[in-house]
Structure formats: C-alpha cells, structure tokens
Chains A and B, each alone.
Chain A
Amino acid sequence: MISVVVGTSSDMCAHPTLGHESFRTGPEASFLRPNTNGGSAVAAACPVPIGHDRERRRSRSRPGALAAARARLTRQVCRRGEAYHGPVTDTVIWAAARPADMLSGMQLEDGWRVVERIGSVAGGTGGSFSTPYVVERDGQRAFLKAIDFTRALGDRDPTAALEQLTRIFNDERELVRTCGEHRMRNVVVGITDGVVNVPGGGAVPQVSYMIFELADGDIRRAMSLSTALDGAWIFGALKQVALGIGQLHSAGIAHQDVKPSNVVTFETVFKLADLGRASVRGGSSAHDELECAGDPAYVTPEQMYHFRLENWDARRRSIDLYHLGSLMLFLLSGVNASAALVAHLDPAHRPPPSGHWGGTFDEVLVHLREANGRIVDEFPVFTDSAIRDIAIARYLELCDPDPRVRGHPKNRVGLSNPYSVERYVSYFNALGARSQRELVRLTHG
C-alpha cells in the first residue's frame, strides 16, 4: 500500500554532496574496447618504460602524487588478478599516471578550487573514463567531471580510442552548452568547462573537465531517506522528470539514459543529469550506432531483441518514454521495467543471456504484452484506487514493448508528435494533486 504521508525532501537537502554518475562501464566497454583481461588501460600501459625526465622530476617534487601513483599502480595490477613482477620505478609510475585522478587540491584557471574527489574507489569501475570531484569558488560548491584521456593509451588502437573519447567529451560538452542556452530548468546545467595541466600527470598531463551545478543526491537516495514515500512525492518527481525530457526533446535531444541514478535532486527540484548517452536529431554522436546507448540494465524491449527503427523520433524519443515509465515503476515498486519484464517472461521468450529467444521481435511481442499484463497484476495498491488505475494506464502506454505504438494513443491522432511527453506532465501533475488531496482527507478524517 502506498502511504499518503507526505515525504519531504528536506533530508536529502541536508545530506552531503553526491554528484552525477560519472562512472560507467557497459557501453563504454564496447567503444573503448578495454583489454580483454578486464584490466584498465593504464594497468596495461604499466610495464612500458617511457623516459620523460622532466615529468619524472616533477613527480619526485610531488611525493604525495608519487605515493598515490604507486598505490594506484598496485591496486590496478592486483585488481586484474595478476601479479605485477616488473620494477615499480618512477618511470613505470609515470607511465601509469592517471592525471584525472590527481586534481584534489588544485586551483583551476577560472577561480575554481578542487576540494575533494567523490567516491572512494580509485580507478572507478574499470571502464570509467571520468573522475568526479567537488569544486568550490566564492563559497559556491559545484561538481567537476574530469576526463581521463590516458585510458585510451592502453587500448589496442590508441588513436581510434582517443578519437572516440574526444568525440564523446566534445558531444557532451556541446549538449551541455545547448541545454544552458535553452535554459532547461529540469536538466542539470553546465557552469563552465576547461583544461588543466596536472603536474606529474604522466604522458598526457592535460585534463579536460566540465563543471556542473552540484546535486544533493540521486533519486534512489531520496527514496531511501524518506521514511514513507507517497503518491504526491512520487508523481511530483515524475512530473519534473517528464518536464526535463520534454525540454530536451524540444531542443532535438533524446537523453536515452533516464534512470534513477541520473535523476538528481536539488532541494525540491528534480533534474536529469548525464547527457553522455544523448542523441541529437540530425547529429551523429559517438554512440549513435550502438544497439543500446544507455545503461544496459535499463534496456528497452526493442533493444533486447535487436529491433531497430530508422526514424529518429521512433527510435530515440521512444526510449525516453520507456525509461520514464520504468522510472515510475521504480519509484512505485523499487524495480525497473526491463527487469520486471524479463522476470515475467518464460526463459524460452527471454533474450540472451537470461533466455534463448531466437525468433523475431514481432513474434515475441505477444509474450511481452502478456508479461506486462502480469506486472500490472502486481502493481502497488493505493488508498485511492483511481490513482492506481490511472498510473497503470500510463505505465502501459509508456512501457509498451512496441516502440511504434509507445506513448499516449491520442498523440497518434492528427499532427501531434506520437512521442510527446506533454500529456504525461499533465497526468503526473494531476496524480500528484489527487494524492495530496487523499493525504489531507486521511489526515483530517
């Protein structure tokens, strides 16, 4: 039963910083082509002794950086499950340097000072290409995303990997600037970007970075901090996410990676973060050719079964609609729509690796619809049953397994864009208001 007790976001505001999700594996792994043994690119570069006396002297002049590099090297080698038998010389450490990890305490050109790194695991998640920090200027704290170009050096084809990484960074920077120009209220705003030269930074000491407004946390944290989630809170958040998607769509951008960790909170405002997977209408971003550009844990049904539409709206915007429905299910039930769908499918109808369906997408659609029907059977109960009915209807529209009919049916009439989210903004607004009234009714008898 969904409680109608209002959950406030004040707890989230009081919580210390947590920035946007900056660690990625999955999709990056496919275009960065990491080493087959799973080790990081830097680790692979370790045993290559490259002389660079001046930088080495700089390293010596920074004993803290040297120690950090030595520790990082050890961790990287150990994480691969292989013993590193080579000498741990300054040269090797120099070659292994990841300057993007070495920004703590540095002063940037535009007045920002790097306060601390976010997250405790050096090297992130193996496939990461950015390192997150908190930065500060004139008492204002912000989030810095430092790009680790050294990762490309350990690739089998370093030039191609470097080109790819550069393209991704430039694409995201361009998108962030576009969002800023459009004054998108529900998309995380970029403050500035630049390049910093890191002393002792090894072969590529220049680190490119972007600075964003700093969020309180992601929506999962907000969920876990609220002792009793309620419809007003949930639908209020969904309305703001829908607004963010709509703002992006209006600018010809499809986010493609809307998920709980990419919905961040700023006091009572919810914003979409991380445009690293976004696609621009008429553009050509680095990951546009990937089957699943976003987080594969939030894969859409058509992506699961390799069904690809050529029309940009049908292919890209429909993904955002599915993810919006998936977020709704996550906020209401704590699991995402893709996983719920797979769990309700027989293994014979699931895609690999959890199943072995070998037929076409159109053939499996009836089974996907049946699985969605079973999800509906287990939808949470509300004190006001009308809210449940409306929520289920919206979920089924947004998470329709067929991207050709996804979205509100009335959007398919006339000249409306079939993948518009406008109606969902209205629906979530109305559901939130109705939940609020229900709360008042129950509270005051």
Chain B
Amino acid sequence: MNQPTMQIQEISAHPGPVPGEGTQRAVEVCKYIDVTTCIGCKACEVACVEWNDLTFRETSFDNTYQTMPSTEWNYWNLIKFVEHERDGNLMWLMRKDQCMHCADPGCLRACPADGAIIKYQNGIVDFQQDNCIGCGYCISGCPFDIPKFNPKTKKVFKCTLCSDRVGQGLEPACIKACPTGCLQFGTKEEMVQIAHSRAYQLKHQSGLANAGVYDPPSIGGTHVIYVLHDITNPELYSGLPANPVIPPSYTVWKWLAKPTGLVMAALGVLAVFFHRLTVGPKLPEGEEKRE
C-alpha cells in the first residue's frame, strides 16, 4: 500500500515526472544483517508472517532446517541454511533472504504497469498490488529471485521492508523480533558504518580475513546489507550473486530500444501519410483510359 507519509522517488512504467519527487528531505534507510551472528532462529520469519497476516503454507520435510526452498508470495522472509565445509571446518551459514531493496531495482525497471512498483525516497521498494497487472516481468528483472507470483490473484508479492511500519517511524517487524541483534535498522550511512566496523572486527579478532560487507555496487547498492564471513564468495550463502545485475533487456532495451521503436512506428505512419499526399493512390486503370 502506498504510504502517504513517505515520498515516492520512482514509479514503475511512469512517463513523466514523479509527483513530489525531491520535495521532501529523506534519508535512506537500511536493514543490516550480520550473518555471522545470525542463529537461524526464524523469529524474523514468524514476525513477518504475523505482522503481515500472511496465510500459512503447507511445508514438508526437505532434509534441512530451512522452512521452505525459497521465499513465496505469502512468505517474504526466509532464512537460508547452508552447510559448508572448508579445510575440515564446518560452517553452518544462515542467511536471511528477503527483498534487498536495491537502489536500482530491477523489478521496477522491468515492470510495465504504471505505478505497480514504487521506490520511496528512503530507498524502500514497494509493490502496489492494486496496480499490478500480474505480468511477472519483475520476477525476471530481479537479480535475487525475490518477487513471487500468487497464481490465484495474479499479483506479485514480496517484502515491503514493512513500509507501513517505517512510514510510522517504526522498525520493520523482522528487526523488532530479532533476538541477537544481528538485524538492525537505521539510516544507510549508519548501517554501512556498523557493517564495516563489524567486518573489521571479524577480520582482526575472529581471524576471518575475507570478512566483508555485501552492498553490491552493480545495482547501486542495496537497502539491505549483509556482513559475511567471506565476501569473496557470496554465492556460498545460498546463491547470493557476487555481481547482481538487472537483465540488459530491462535496461538497454526498455529505455532505449523501445522508445526508438515507437518513434520509428510514428515515423512510419507519417511516411505513408506523406506518401498519400505526395505520390497519391494507385488508381485502377480502365481499358478506355489506356494510353
């Protein structure tokens, strides 16, 4: 739902300026996830389901502690469990997976429906199901496989970063529920700072030379950032892309080729119109009119 307390910065498939853009001071918000202190307790999963009153899914045993294979249209927050063995040392990685709220959201770029996806000035990317046409392009536009399609309602859903809570000055529900403090919420600047000092601590106190912060520049950074034991190999964490990109079809094609195509079509119409005025029609010739 559109949160009237937050100014919109970007609207999907919206020609012309975004109303209100730049009229209000806004700080970028950010969710901080310290994977190294996540205990996989799933309090965030429960909080998400509870706050958003999501329906329950039928799950089944899948040889893992992970609740289900991936996030779903009615399950927006999922801790992904990975058993990883390195030099005989076992690591049990637990990464909370949800919308990353990209600075340059692939979903929003891909979306053809005016106003179905909006990005607030504070960085939250929010789906507006009223405007969603159910085409599912956002699903393929997302480098993190986050938006999920509800086949019944033909709408796509994902984590809202609790825009309804944030709009009222509250932290997202998952943050509120996190018992260890591995989840924090604040301004992007602040969270990035905390993340880097935590990474520094991991490097120098816990012997994790590759510890680092995941805030991929390839999509302009994200409004959800991770502290990882090993930033050189984010794929380890249940396929976190090292270099997430929006499919070029949604960037180059959509914003360059498409308008070009339209202009060409308009020119085509003009051309035939011009042809009619200048060259004129080809009239059937009667035998009597033959030269």
Asked if A and B are interacting partners, one says no
